[in-house]
């Protein structure tokens, strides 16, 4: 224990001795001038005192620097500055030291300067500002303020930025110029690129349009050719049927009651009527049929047709309808009925085995130039779009191209005539509309029908025929260049109780009329005749006698339809073959009206 204590005391003593020795050495070294500097630690931090000449190397460096060097005291007074700084502020050295540095700083930069110097107490900082010379010129500089480690002296290095600024400005100008060039070039490229894209798109569109138009044109021409051909045949056919039906009816009229021939002739008439229907269909397709266009709310007709369809189509087919009032269309109700019946029947057939959904919908669409350009057939403006969609077997592209041709069918003999869509096509054309088809095999088919909406209302309503055969009296002037038909008409009229003056040409008729117009109650004329057609004859007669009723009779006319006829003042318009009861009705109506209006006029 004691021994250990002694040892520890010995060690401490030895340490103290060494310390004492070091202290003595230090003092003697300082006294003997063996040291260059002494450090004092005090409340203001460490201060270093060095002998004269100790700082010389630094001084030389500082004076040789191209930067300004400045020391400030706490009040911002310049304690020391090098020659370069004096040059920078264009002030003699001896006048700079002892003055505040702030006075050389531009007023607007003084807050920044104050902040830098204040911050310099803790850490170094840099800032760009402008010095003002004694003569008023300015100098952009960078101030680097060093954190003071000894005492409260700020050391500041001042770098002249004039050259840098100049170079920076140059660089900036240069860069801006380059950027401008790049931008210009980019813009140019972009514009030409856009132009190119546009041209490509336009060219592509033009090609597509041409192909599309060519296709449409081909289709239209094909349908037109078929239509003309069919129309021509139907016309001839019509004349023959007129004779067959006329004479048959006439024969029927003459037969005594109970005669066995009555039934036979009725069969002839029946077949003749069926043939007439067929001819009518062909004429409808070739747009030469009888038409009664009037402003029509077609949704009513469609609803009616769908009611009929619902009762005849099995429930495996779900009928969805969105049939709404879309406004008026100049249309023949019977034909609109026919459109919807044909389209829906086809849809039903396509879904017969599988069942499915039949969707009938209507909407108003505004067609623009682009739309009608595509279809060739439509005018821009509001249209009713009627869509009939099914989920049936669908059609291939090749099939789609042929479906509107008359007699084109994929159905077995006896099941389909192939006239359905041809008729629909013809009707729509005559209504200045258009039909499109979209179909995918196995998925279904959509038909879209576009019909122009009536904008300015047109009142041209015709009265429907029907009912029993109405007899009459008075003299009728009959004109037909076809002797058999003329003869037949005469007999028909006679049978109804009329007297007949028969002429086989319009010139002859005009002569007869001039001579005997007092006895004539009505003129019944064929349309297509040599020299002077029915319309011209009617015009001349009306010149001679404006109140004289004229009935026009035609089998086929591209230049004449009921509306046109009425506009010309023609009182009646009849399609061949002329059916007895229709003839009776027409004449009866006109003559009744005439006699009814006579007292008033």
Partner 1 sequence: MENNKETKSATQELEAGQAKLQDAQYVLRLYVAGATPKSIRAIENIKRICEEHLKGRYDLEVIDIYQQPVLAKGDQIIAVPTLLRKLPPPLRKFIGDLSATERILLGLDLRPK
Ligand X SMILES: Nc1ncnc2c1ncn2[C@@H]1O[C@H](COP(=O)(O)OP(=O)(O)OP(=O)(O)O)[C@@H](O)[C@H]1O
Q: Are strands 317-322 and 329-331 parallel, antiparallel or unpaired?
A: unpaired
Residues 406-425 binding Mg ion (CB under 5 A) are 420
Taking the complex as a whole, the smallest distance from the CB of residue 2 to partner 1 amounts, in Å, to 18
Phi, psi of 50 (to 5 degrees): -120, 160
> What is the Cα gyration radius of the chain?
56
Q: Which is nearer to ligand X, 331 or 403 (CB)?
A: 403
Residues 143-172 binding partner 1 (CB under 8 A) are 149-150
Q: Which is nearer to ligand X, 242 or 346 (CB)?
A: 346
- In a 3-state reduction of DSSP, which class is residue 98? coil
Cα(329)–Cα(293) distance, rounded to whole angstroms? 9
Taking the complex as a whole, the smallest distance from the CB of residue 13 to partner 1 amounts, in Å, to 7
CA 151 to chain centre: 82
Taking the complex as a whole, the smallest distance from the CB of residue 359 to Mg ion amounts, in Å, to 18
Q: Which is nearer to Mg ion, 205 or 410 (CB)?
A: 410
Segment near partner 1 (CB under 8 A); pick from 27-35, 430-438, 452-460, 519-527:
27-35
- What would the x/- binding string for partner 1 be over residues 280 to 319, using CB under 8 A? ----------------------------------------
Place of tokens 């310099």: 120
Q: Which is nearer to partner 1, 148 or 338 (CB)?
A: 148
Cα(270)–Cα(278) distance, rounded to whole angstroms? 13
Cα(518)–Cα(378) distance, rounded to whole angstroms? 49
Tokens of residue 499, six digits = 């007297």
Alpha helices in 108-161 (DSSP H): 110-119
Which one of residues 6, 22, 198, 320 is an interface residue with partner 1 (CB under 8 A)? 22
Contact flag: residue 55 with partner 1 (CB under 8 A): yes
Q: Dihedral (C-alpha) 429, 434, 440, 441: value to the nearest 10 degrees?
A: -10
Which one of residues 6, 17, 175, 322 is an interface residue with partner 1 (CB under 8 A)? 17
Q: Are 369 and 380 in contact (CB under 8 A)?
A: yes
Segment near partner 1 (CB under 8 A); pick from 32-40, 259-267, 415-423, 430-438:
32-40
Q: Which is nearer to Mg ion, 309 or 590 (CB)?
A: 309
Tokens of residue 444, six digits = 């279904």
Segment near partner 1 (CB under 8 A); pick from 37-45, 110-118, 265-273, 579-587:
37-45
393 binds, among ligand X, Mg ion, partner 1, none (CB under 5 to 8 A by kind): ligand X
Q: Which residue is nearest to Mg ion (CB)?
A: 420
Q: How far is CA 337 from CA 270, 304, 424, in A?
A: 23, 8, 10
Buried b (16+ CB within 10 A) or exposed e, 429-454: bbbbbbbeeebeeeebbbbbbbbbbb
Cα(505)–Cα(511) distance, rounded to whole angstroms? 10
48 binds, among Mg ion, partner 1, ligand X, none (CB under 5 to 8 A by kind): partner 1
Which one of residues 36, 209, 318, 458 is an interface residue with partner 1 (CB under 8 A)? 36
Tokens of residue 76, six digits = 């911002």
- What would the x/- binding string for partner 1 be over residues 203 to 232, using CB under 8 A? ------------------------------
Taking the complex as a whole, the smallest distance from the CB of residue 448 to Mg ion amounts, in Å, to 17
Taking the complex as a whole, the smallest distance from the CB of residue 19 to partner 1 amounts, in Å, to 9
- In a 3-state reduction of DSSP, which class is residue 575? strand
390 binds, among partner 1, ligand X, Mg ion, none (CB under 5 to 8 A by kind): ligand X
34 binds, among partner 1, Mg ion, ligand X, none (CB under 5 to 8 A by kind): partner 1
DSSP code for 100: B
Kindly report the CA angle at 568 between 513 and 538, in degrees rounded to 5? 15
Q: Which is nearer to ligand X, 325 or 440 (CB)?
A: 440
Q: Spell out the residues 6+ positions from residue 520 whose beta carbon is closer than 8 angstroms to its own.
A: 475, 476, 477, 501, 513, 548
Instruction: Give the helix/strand (H/E) hosting 336.
Output: helix 333-351
Cα(477)–Cα(509) distance, rounded to whole angstroms? 8
Burial class (CB in 10 A: 0-12, 13-18, 19+), 123: exposed
Contact flag: residue 13 with partner 1 (CB under 8 A): yes
Q: Which of 335, 348, 277 is nearest to 301 (CA)?
A: 335
Contact flag: residue 426 with Mg ion (CB under 5 A): no
Residues 335-394 binding Mg ion (CB under 5 A) are 346
Segment near partner 1 (CB under 8 A); pick from 48-56, 100-108, 481-489, 522-530:
48-56
Q: In what order do the strands lie in the sheet with 499-503?
A: 499-503, 475-479, 520-526, 550-554, 572-575
Q: Which is nearer to ligand X, 267 or 410 (CB)?
A: 410
Tokens of residue 62, six digits = 């500082």
Q: Which residue is nearest to ligand X (CB)?
A: 420
Q: Which is nearer to ligand X, 391 or 585 (CB)?
A: 391
Segment near partner 1 (CB under 8 A); pick from 11-19, 393-401, 430-438, 502-510:
11-19
Segment near partner 1 (CB under 8 A); pick from 46-54, 280-288, 344-352, 437-445:
46-54
Segment near partner 1 (CB under 8 A); pick from 22-30, 266-274, 277-285, 536-544:
22-30
Cα(501)–Cα(483) distance, rounded to whole angstroms? 13
Residues at the interface with ligand X (CB under 6 A): 342, 346-347, 350, 390, 392-395, 403, 408-411, 416-422, 445
Chain residues binding partner 1 by CB under 8 A are 10-11, 13-15, 17-18, 21-22, 25-26, 29-30, 34-39, 41, 45-48, 50-51, 53-55, 57-58, 149-150
């Amino acid at each position: 224990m004691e021994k250990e204590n002694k040892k520890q005391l010995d060690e401490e003593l030895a340490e103290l001795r060494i310390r004492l020795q070091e202290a003595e050495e230090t003092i003697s070294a300082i006294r003997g001038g063996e040291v260059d500097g002494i450090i004092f630690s005090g409340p203001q931090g460490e201060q270093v005192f060095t002998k004269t000449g100790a700082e010389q190397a630094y001084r030389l460096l500082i004076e040789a620097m191209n930067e300004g060097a400045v020391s400030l005291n706490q009040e911002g007074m310049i304690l020391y500055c090098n020659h370069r700084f004096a040059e920078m502020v264009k002030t003699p050295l001896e006048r700079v030291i002892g003055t505040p540095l702030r006075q050389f700083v531009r007023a607007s930069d003084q807050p920044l300067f104050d902040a830098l110097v204040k911050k310099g107490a803790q850490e170094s900082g840099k800032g760009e500002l402008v010095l003002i010379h004694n003569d008023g010129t300015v100098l952009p500089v960078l101030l680097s303020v060093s954190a003071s480690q000894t005492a409260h002296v700020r050391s500041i290095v001042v770098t002249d930025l004039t050259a840098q600024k100049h170079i920076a400005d140059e660089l900036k100008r240069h860069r801006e110029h380059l950027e401008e060039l790049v931008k210009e070039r980019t813009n140019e490229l972009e514009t030409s690129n856009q132009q190119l894209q546009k041209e490509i798109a336009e060219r592509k569109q033009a090609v597509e349009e041409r192909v599309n138009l060519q296709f449409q044109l081909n289709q239209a021409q094909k349908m037109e050719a078929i239509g003309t051909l069919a129309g021509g045949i139907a016309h001839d056919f019509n004349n023959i049927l007129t004779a067959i039906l006329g004479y048959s009816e006439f024969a029927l009229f003459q037969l005594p009651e109970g005669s066995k021939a009555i039934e036979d002739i009725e069969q002839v008439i029946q077949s003749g009527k069926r043939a007439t229907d067929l001819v009518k269909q062909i004429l409808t397709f070739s747009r030469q049929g009888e038409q009664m266009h009037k402003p029509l709310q077609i949704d009513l007709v469609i609803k009616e047709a769908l009611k009929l369809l619902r009762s005849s189509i099995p429930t495996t087919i779900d009928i969805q309808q969105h049939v709404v009032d879309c406004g008026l269309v100049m249309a023949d109700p019977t034909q609109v009925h026919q459109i919807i019946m044909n389209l829906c029947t086809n849809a039903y057939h396509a879904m017969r085995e599988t069942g499915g959904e039949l969707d009938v919908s209507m909407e108003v669409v505004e067609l623009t130039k682009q739309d009608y350009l595509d279809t060739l057939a439509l005018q821009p403006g509001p249209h009713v779009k009627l869509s009939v969609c099914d989920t049936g077997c669908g059609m291939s592209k090749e099939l789609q191209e042929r479906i509107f041709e008359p007699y084109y069918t994929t159905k077995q003999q006896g099941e389909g005539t192939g006239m359905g869509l041809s008729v629909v096509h013809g009707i729509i054309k005559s209504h200045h509309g258009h039909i499109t088809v979209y179909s995918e095999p196995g998925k279904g088919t959509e038909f879209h029908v576009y019909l122009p909406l009536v904008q300015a209302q047109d009142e041209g309503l015709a009265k429907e025929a029907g009912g029993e055969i109405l007899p009459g009296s008075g003299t009728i002037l009959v004109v037909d260049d076809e002797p058999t038909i003329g003869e037949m008409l005469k007999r028909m009229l006679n049978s109804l109780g009329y007297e007949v003056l028969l002429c086989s040409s319009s010139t002859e008729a005009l002569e007869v009329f001039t001579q005997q117009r007092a006895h004539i109650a009505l003129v019944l004329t064929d349309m297509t005749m040599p020299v002077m057609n029915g319309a011209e004859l009617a015009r001349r007669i009306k010149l001679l006698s404006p109140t004289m009723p004229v009935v026009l009779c035609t089998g086929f006319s591209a230049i004449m339809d009921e509306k046109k006829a009425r506009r010309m003042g023609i009182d009646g318009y009849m399609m061949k073959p002329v059916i007895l009861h229709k003839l009776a009705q027409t004449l009866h109506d006109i003559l009744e009206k005439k006699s009814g209006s006579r007292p008033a006029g």
